[in-house]
Amino acid sequence: MSDKKGIVYLVGIGPGSEGLLAPDAALAIESADTIVGYTGYLEMIASRLVGKRALGRELGEETARGELAIEIAERGGIVAVVSSGDAGIYGMAGVVQEVAAKRRSEVEIVVIPGVTAACSAAARLGAPLAHDWASISLSDLLTPWDVITKRVQAAARADFVIALYNPTSKTRAHRFAAIVELLLRWRSPETPVGLVENAYRPGENIAIVRLGDLLTAHVTMFTIVIVGSSKTFVDRSRMITPRIYAAKTIETLDDEAEPIERPAAIERDDPVDPRVRRSEVGDSILARSFELIDAELGVRPRDPAERAILRRTIHASADFDYVHNIRFGPGAIEAAVRGLRAGGTILVDVEMLRAGIRSDWAGELGVEIACGLNHPACLELARTKGLTRTAAGIRLALERAGAGTIVAIGNAPTAIQELIRMVQEGFPPPACAIGVPVGFVGVEEAKQQLSMQRYFPYLTSAGRKGGTAVVAAIVNALLEIARDGADP
Ligand code: SAH
C-alpha cells in the first residue's frame, strides 16, 4: 500500500442528461483518475472520461467492481464509481461500502447524491409521488422472490404509491405478470400507472395506463413503473397524487365497506313481531352452546355480569382468548345497564352492528339504536373535517343523542378517537362506550386510548381481535342484564 491517500467517490450521475448531473458529481468525476461503472453508464458520460482510466465492468459483477475500486484507492488512486440515478439507490454506494466494511479499509469514501429514476419519472409524469410512496426493485438477482412479493403486497395494502425499479427483463417477464396480479388484489383496475422508459435519455417514452391494462403495456428494463395509490388521478396526461390525503382513508382499511346510499325500503324498523322471531330449536342450540362455553370457562370470571358478557362474546367468536383480552373499565357494566334502563340510545358505528343487536330487547327497554353513517350530512362532514366516514357518523349521531347514550364501536378505530376528541372538546360524555373494533391499522392504539382515558366508562379488548359480531354480543348481554332486572 502506498502512502498517497486514495479516495473513492460514489457518484450518482442522474438519469442521463447533462443538466441533471449535479455540479458536485461533475467535480468528483473530473478529479478522479479512474472511473468504474457499468459500460452503459460510462457511455452516458463519455465526454467526461477523456484522459482517464475507465473500467467498464459488466452488470452483475457488483462486488468485484466494489473490490476493484477499493483496491485502486488503497494504492493511492482517486476513483469515481458511477451509478445511474442515485448511487445509493439500487446502485454501487451500498456494495462499495459493504466491501470497505468487510475489509476494514481505511480509504476515504465520499458519496455524491444523484437524481434517482423515481424522481426523474415523477417529473415527467406530473406529481405521482406527492404523498407517501414505496420503492421496490423487482430484480431477484440479489433479493429472494418471496421477499419481493411480500413487500409488494404490504405496500399495495397500505395504499402507498409504488415505484417499481427493474420491473422486468428478458428472463423474468412472467414475474412481472405475477406482480401485476398481486397489485390488482389490493387496487382497482382503474388505478393510474405511469410508465417512463429512459427518462431524460435518448429513447425516452412516457405513458400512463390503467392498472388493468398494465400487462399489455410496453415495459422494459429501462422503464420505471409508478403505480398510483387509491387517491392518484390523471388530469390531461398528468398523473397526480394529492398532497393532502383528504378524509384519511388509510384508516378506512379497517372499516367495512358500506354502501353510501341505502335504499329507503330497509330504513324502517323490521315490521315482524319480535315474539315470533325465535324458534325453539334455535333456543336449545343456544342453550347447549352456553353450556359448552361455561364448561370450558371453568370458574373464570366469577362476576356474573362479566361472565354473561364473556359467554356471549365467546359464543359469537368461538375464541377463548377473550377471557384474557376483554377489558371491563371500572364501573362500566353498571353505567351501561343504568343508561339502558333509562332508555338511552345505543349509538353504533356501522349499520351491520345495528342488525346484530336484539331490537326486541332494546324495544322493551325503550332503547333506540342509531347510526350516523348514512346521515345525509355525513360525507360532507368527513370531507371538511378530514375524518373517516365512520368517525363523522359517530360525531353526527353523538351531537344528536341525549343523556345515557351507549356508544358501540365494532369496526372503526377512528370512531373511538373521534368520540374521545369530542368529549375533550366539551361534549357530554356517553354513559359508556363499548369499543372493540377488529383489525390491523390503528386498532390496538385506539383501544389503548379508550382504556387510558378517564372521561367515561368503557369496555374494550386488548389486541387486534374484536369486530361487529363481538360488539353486538356484548351489547346484547348488557341488554339482557338490563332487561332481566338483576343488579349487575
Ligand atoms: N441507481 C438507479 C437505479 C438503478 S436500478 C437510480 O437511482 O435511478 C435500474 C432500474 O432503474 C431500471 O431497471 C429502471 O427501472 C430504473 N431506471 C434507471 N434510470 C432510469 C431512467 N433514466 N428512466 C427510467 N428508468 C430508469
CATH architecture of 7-115: 3-Layer(aba) Sandwich (3.40)
Domains 7-115 and 119-274 share a fold: no
Query: Rounded mean pLDDT of 23-37?
Result: 94
**Which of 222, 225, 227, when mutated, tests ligand 1's pocket best, judged by the most ligand atoms within 8 Å of its CB?**
222
**Of 174, 315, 324, 375, which residue is the catalytic one?**
315
Sequence-ordered list of residues with C-beta below 8 angstroms from that of 249, at least 6 positions apart, any chain: 159, 230, 231, 388
What pLDDT was estimated at residue 415?
92
198 CB within 6 A, ligand 1: yes
The protein residue with its alpha carbon nearest to ligand 1, atom 6, reads: 85
Query: Rounded mean pLDDT of 470-485?
Result: 93
Does domain 119-274 sit in CATH 3.30.950.10?
yes
CATH architecture of 279-484: 3-Layer(aba) Sandwich (3.40)
- Tell me the domain boundaries of the chain: 7-115, 119-274, 279-484
Q: Is 324 a catalytic residue?
A: no
Task: Please check whether residue 468 is in contact with residue 350, taking contact to mean a CB–CB distance below 8 angstroms.
Answer: yes
Lowest mean pLDDT among 79-83, 138-142, 266-270: 266-270
Is the pLDDT at 259 greater than 80? The verdict is: no
The protein residue with its alpha carbon nearest to ligand 1, atom 9, reads: 166
135 CB within 6 A, ligand 1: no
The protein residue with its alpha carbon nearest to ligand 1, atom 4, reads: 90
Q: pLDDT tens for residues 91-132?
A: 999 999 999 999 999 999 999 999 999 999 999 999 999 999
Ligand 1 atom, smallest distance to 198 CA: 23
Is the pLDDT at 167 greater than 90? The verdict is: yes
Residue 48 alpha carbon to ligand 1 centre in Å: 21
Is the pLDDT at 223 greater than 60? The verdict is: yes
Is the pLDDT at 159 greater than 50? The verdict is: yes
Residue 324 alpha carbon to ligand 1 centre in Å: 51
Sequence-ordered list of residues with C-beta below 8 angstroms from that of 46, at least 6 positions apart, any chain: none
What pLDDT was estimated at residue 245?
63
Is the pLDDT at 266 greater than 70? The verdict is: no
Cα–Cα distances in Å, from 36 out to 11, 201, 222, 393, 435?
A: 10, 21, 21, 61, 60
Nearest CA-CA partner of 38 in 19, 22, 8, 61 = 61
Do the strands 7-12 and 78-83 form a parallel or antiparallel pair, or are they unpaired?
A: parallel
What pLDDT was estimated at residue 254?
41
What pLDDT was estimated at residue 488?
66
The protein residue with its alpha carbon nearest to ligand 1, atom 5, reads: 90
What pLDDT was estimated at residue 54?
87
- On the 0-12 / 13-18 / 19+ scale of CB atoms within 10 A, 281 is exposed
What pLDDT was estimated at residue 186?
87
Residue 15 alpha carbon to ligand 1 centre in Å: 7
Residue 43 alpha carbon to ligand 1 centre in Å: 15
CA distance 67 to 453: 58
117 CB within 6 A, ligand 1: yes
**Which of 45, 65, 141, 223, when mutated, tests ligand 1's pocket best, judged by the most ligand atoms within 8 Å of its CB?**
223
203: left (phi over 0), alpha (psi -120 to 50) or beta: left
Percent of the chain residues past pLDDT 90, beyond the cut = 65
What pLDDT was estimated at residue 256?
41
Ligand 1 atom, smallest distance to 91 CA: 1
Residue 117 alpha carbon to ligand 1 centre in Å: 5
At residue 320, the 3 state secondary structure works out as coil
Q: pLDDT tens for residues 309-351?
A: 999 999 999 999 999 899 999 999 999 999 999 888 999 999 9
User: What is the pTM (predicted TM-score) of this model?
Assistant: 0.55
CA distance 215 to 177: 6
Residue 165 alpha carbon to ligand 1 centre in Å: 6
pLDDT confidence bin for 3, thresholds 50/70/90? low
Is the pLDDT at 6 greater than 50? The verdict is: yes
The protein residue with its alpha carbon nearest to ligand 1, atom 12, reads: 166
**Which of 44, 119, 166, when mutated, tests ligand 1's pocket best, judged by the most ligand atoms within 8 Å of its CB?**
166
Q: pLDDT tens for residues 33-52?
A: 999 988 888 888 888 988 89
Q: pLDDT tens for residues 352-390?
A: 999 999 999 999 999 999 988 888 888 888 898 888 888
More confident residue, 434 or 56: 434
What pLDDT was estimated at residue 30?
94
At residue 461, the 3 state secondary structure works out as strand
The protein residue with its alpha carbon nearest to ligand 1, atom 3, reads: 90
What pLDDT was estimated at residue 234?
94
pLDDT confidence bin for 216, thresholds 50/70/90? very high
Q: Return the residue matching grid coordinates 473490490.
A: 67
What pLDDT was estimated at residue 141?
82
91 CB within 6 A, ligand 1: yes
What pLDDT was estimated at residue 276?
47
Residue 113 alpha carbon to ligand 1 centre in Å: 14
As a whole number, the mean pLDDT across the chain is 88
Query: Rounded mean pLDDT of 190-210?
Result: 95
Lowest mean pLDDT among 205-214, 263-272, 368-377: 263-272
